[in-house]
Chain A
Amino acid sequence: MIQRREFNKLAALAAASAAAQARAQQSSPAPKPATNDGITWDKAPCRFCGTGCHVRVGVKNDRVVAIEGDQLAEVNKGLLCVKGYHVGLALYGKDRLTQPLLRRNGVLEPISWEEAIETISQKIMAAPEQFAIYGSGQWTIPEGYAANKFIKGGLGSNHIDPNARLCMASAVTGFLSVYGVDEPAGCYDDLDKCDVLIMWGNNMAEMHPVLFSRVMDRRTRGEKVTIIDLGTRRTRTTEFSDHYLEFRPHSDLAIMNGIAHLLIKQNAFDPKFVERFCNFRKAPKDPLATPSAPLHGDAMSFEDYKAALEPYTPELVEKLSGVPAEQIRMLAGLFANKDIRITSTWCMGFNQHSRGTNANRLCHGIHLLSGHFGRPGDAPTSLTGQPSACGTAREVGTMCHFLPGGRLILNPEHRKETETIWNVPEGRINPKIGHHTVLMWEKFCTPADKGGDIRTLWVQVTNPGQSLPNLHKLFKAKAGQPDKFLIVSDVYRTATTELADLVLPSAMWVEKNGMFGNSERRTQQWFRMVKPPGDARDDAWQMIAVARRLHDLGHAGMKDKDGRFLFTLKNDKGEEVPVWEWPRYYDMNVDKALFEEYRAFSRYKHKDLAPYDEYVKARGLRWPVVQQQDGTWRETKFRFSEFDDPYVKKGAEIQFYHSVTKDDKALIWFAPAEKAAEEPDADFPFWLCTGRVLEHWHTGSMTRRIPQLHAAMPHSYVEMHPEDARERGLANGETIVVKTRRGELRLPVWIDGRGHPPRGSLFIPFFDERLMCNDLTLGEVDPISKEPDYKKCAATVARASSAP
Chain B
Amino acid sequence: MSAALSRRGFFAAFRQPFERRVAPAAAPVVKREEAADVAKVAIVQGRFCIALTSFCSACVERCPVSGAMKKERGMPMVVADICTGCGICHDVCPAPRNAVLMLPRRPSLTPQPT
Contact = CB atoms under 8 A, between A and B. Distances in A.
Interface of A: 1-4, 7, 79-82, 85-86, 205-206, 209-210, 212-213, 236, 239-240, 694-695, 708-709, 711-715, 717, 722, 725-726, 729, 731-734, 748, 750-754
Interface in B4-31: 4-14, 16
5 contacts: A79-B54, A82-B55, A712-B93, A732-B5, A748-B10
B7 A732 contact: yes
B55 A694 contact: yes
B58 interface: yes
Contacts of A3: 52
A726 B58 CA distance: 25
Contact of A732 (B6, B55, B96): B6
A726 B10 contact: no
A80 B46 contact: no
B90 to A, nearest CB: 10
Contacts of B96: 85-86
Nearest to B15: A714
Contacts of B10: 717, 732-733, 748, 750-751, 753
Interface of B: 1-2, 4-14, 16, 46-47, 50, 52-58, 61, 74, 91-96
B76 to A, nearest CB: 12
A712 B58 contact: yes
Contact of A712 (B1, B4, B52, B92): B92
B47 to A, nearest CB: 5
Contacts of B46: 1
B54 A209 contact: yes
Rank and list the top 5 A-B pairs by shortest CB-CB distance, nearest first.
Answer: A733-B9, A712-B58, A731-B4, A708-B94, A712-B94
A733 B12 contact: yes
Contact of B57 (A85, A210, A734, A754): A754
Contacts of B94: 82, 85-86, 695, 708-709, 711-712
Contacts of A714: 11, 14
Given A82-B54, A732-B4, A239 B74 contact: yes
Contacts of A748: 10-11, 13
A751 B61 CA distance: 11
B9 A731 contact: yes
Given A82-B94, A711-B94, A715-B11, A722 B5 contact: yes
B54 A80 contact: yes
A132 to B, nearest CB: 38
Contacts of B6: 732
Contact of B5 (A81, A713, A726): A726
B61 A4 contact: no
Given A711-B94, A712-B94, A209 B55 contact: yes
Nearest to B96: A85
A567 B96 CA distance: 43
Given A209-B54, A712-B58, A722 B1 contact: yes
A212 B96 CA distance: 20
A380 to B, nearest CB: 25
A240 B73 CA distance: 8
B50 to A, nearest CB: 5
Contacts of A694: 55-56
A3 to B, nearest CB: 8
B16 A711 contact: yes
B11 A733 contact: yes
Nearest to A715: B14
A752 to B, nearest CB: 7
Given A695-B94, A725-B5, A726-B2, A82 B53 contact: no
B66 to A, nearest CB: 11
B34 to A, nearest CB: 31
A4 B52 contact: yes
A202 to B, nearest CB: 15
A213 B13 contact: no
Contacts of B9: 731-734
A1 B47 contact: yes
Contacts of A80: 54
